[in-house]
Amino acid sequence: MMLHRISRGSTRLAPVVILALGFVALPCLSRAERSGDWKVERETSDVVEFTMRYEQGSSRHIEGHSMRIRELEGFQSSWLETSTPNVRFALRRDAGSFQFEGRTSNGKGGGDWTFVPDAGFADQMVRRGYERPTEAVQFHLAFMDVGLAFMDELKAQGYQRPSTRELVTMANHGVDLDYLRAMGKLGYRVEDPEVLVKMRDHGVDPDYIAAMIKLGYKDLEADELVYARDHGVDADFIQAFGSQLKGLSLQELVRLRDHGVDAEFAAGFRELGYRDLDPKELVTLRDHGVDPEYARAMGAAGFPNLPWEDLRRARDHGVDADYVRRVRARIKGTITIDDVIEFRDRGLKL
């Protein structure tokens, strides 16, 4: 069974399956089939975790989020304090309302729901330039709370008008009114709804952007943000380096990340006295297998504070601390790193 989970609000539920970018298949179901079940669980005195779900063929669709009790029309907070049979309440959205029946007990509850489409919603969409939604599309817009305010916000931000089915796709991928408005406030009004969906899919959200802006990475294009996010470059990665990465371009940060150079790696070299290594040199050391442990071992074997180029060269020639100790045990007098490398290259047996 394929399961689609949609979450909204301040508390997000981890998606089980994220739908692929593109149109969502919406089979035409009869109005009588527009029903499902619901669950509620108290979080605080006035907030609950509310979940609705329904099955459609081999798929199960779930929508859940934290919400204030007052958003559930007719729901009484006292119902969660005792065992209450036959509770009835409603959730009204632009595209239609959900009518709930069930029971509650010990801070939890559950039961069944049915959907009643709003008779004027389709006309409101047509007035805004959208094609008239089918019954199935209207149900999905209601289920994912895609309302007129969302459509108006798209227009206000200068987006290309999506089809009604593309509105459903946006909601499936977590692009809701809160996300749209927050991105707009940060200056990301990207015109193409598919670009916004891509940003959402790749984890580029308002918190991520705001944190990058705070670190000086302003006015990044949408594809640059996706690129950075995909490569694991975020505020935590940058801040861990302290001032060492100040002024680096996004491409340089990605290169560090891709080559496995993290704050711990850089700090290890600073502790050994290598305080002036630039990002390119750190990448070179990492690529050649020279890490702080190797440098520390070479120092203990008699070659402390070697220039970083000599550390790389020694590593490339197969010289390690154990080999250095064997050379020193065999050959008395002053020995340079060049001597040790030459011995290694000649295959000197020790």
If we measure between CA atoms, which residue out of 301, 308, 309, 307 comes closest to residue 340?
Answer: 301
Task: Please state, in angstroms and rounded to a whole number, the distance separating the CA atoms of residues 269 and 276.
Answer: 10
**Does 104 lie in the same domain as 188?**
yes
Q: pLDDT category, 245, cuts 50, 70, 90?
A: confident
- Which of residues 172, 191, 206 is at a domain's end? 206
**Number of domains making up the chain:** 3
pLDDT tens digit string along 234-244? 999 999 998 88
**Does 218 lie in the same domain as 94?**
no
If we measure between CA atoms, which residue out of 66, 64, 59, 65 comes closest to residue 4?
Answer: 59
**Does 193 lie in the same domain as 76?**
yes
pLDDT tens digit string along 153-207? 999 999 999 999 999 999 999 999 999 999 999 999 999 999 999 999 999 999 9
Average pLDDT, the chain: 90
Q: Is the pLDDT of residue 11 over 50?
A: no
Within-domain flag for 280: no
Within-domain flag for 56: yes
- Amino acid present at 170: M
Residue given tokens 């946006």 in the structure block? 170
Task: Please state, in angstroms and rounded to a whole number, the distance separating the CA atoms of residues 132 and 24.
Answer: 17
**Does 327 lie in the same domain as 234?**
no
The percent of residues above 70 in pLDDT, for the chain, comes to 90
**Does 231 lie in the same domain as 198?**
no
Measured in Å, how far apart are the chain's first and last C-alpha atoms? 65
The structure's pTM equals: 0.82
User: 295-302: long-range contacts at Cβ-Cβ below 8 A with a sequence spacing of 24 or more?
Assistant: 295/269, 296/272, 297/321, 298/324, 299/272, 301/325, 301/328, 302/328, 302/335
**Does 253 lie in the same domain as 189?**
no
pLDDT tens digit string along 217-234? 999 999 999 999 999 999
Q: Is the pLDDT of residue 143 over 60?
A: yes
**Does 44 lie in the same domain as 178?**
yes
Q: Is the pLDDT of residue 108 over 90?
A: yes
Strands (DSSP E) contained in the chain are 2-8, 35-42, 47-56, 59-68, 84-93, 96-105, 108-117
Within-domain flag for 265: no
Task: Please state, in angstroms and rounded to a whole number, the distance separating the CA atoms of residues 95 and 93.
Answer: 6
Q: Label residue 13 exposed, middle or buried (CB < 10 Å: 0-12, 13-18, 19+).
A: middle
Q: For position 251, what pLDDT does the model report? A: 94
- What is the mean pLDDT of the segment spanning 204-219? 96
**Does 213 lie in the same domain as 160?**
no
Task: Please state, in angstroms and rounded to a whole number, the distance separating the CA atoms of residues 222 and 189.
Answer: 10
Domain that holds residue 318: 288-345
pLDDT tens digit string along 18-42? 333 343 444 444 445 699 999 999 9
Within-domain flag for 68: yes
Within-domain flag for 44: yes
Within-domain flag for 275: no
Q: For position 1, what pLDDT does the model report? A: 44
Instruction: Sort strands 35-42 and 108-117 into parallel, antiparallel or unpaired.
Output: antiparallel
Task: Please state, in angstroms and rounded to a whole number, the distance separating the CA atoms of residues 317 and 95.
Answer: 70
Q: Is the pLDDT of residue 332 over 90?
A: no
Within-domain flag for 269: no
Q: pLDDT category, 3, cuts 50, 70, 90?
A: very low
- Which of residues 206, 225, 248 is at a domain's end? 206
CA torsion, ordered 183, 187, 191, 197, to nearest 10 deg: -30
Within-domain flag for 69: yes
Q: For position 33, what pLDDT does the model report? A: 66
pLDDT tens digit string along 269-308? 999 999 999 999 999 999 999 999 999 999 999 999 999 9
Q: Report the sign of the C-alpha dihedral through residues 69, 71, 76, 80, in that order.
A: negative
pLDDT tens digit string along 50-64? 999 999 888 888 999
Q: Is the pLDDT of residue 12 over 90?
A: no
- Amino acid present at 286: R
Residue given tokens 């390119």 in the structure block? 280
**Does 136 lie in the same domain as 211?**
no
The number of C-alpha atoms within 13 Å of 128 and in the hemisphere containing its C-beta is: 24
The percent of residues above 90 in pLDDT, for the chain, comes to 84
**Does 306 lie in the same domain as 164?**
no
**Does 215 lie in the same domain as 200?**
no
**Does 240 lie in the same domain as 102?**
no
Q: Is the pLDDT of residue 4 over 70?
A: no
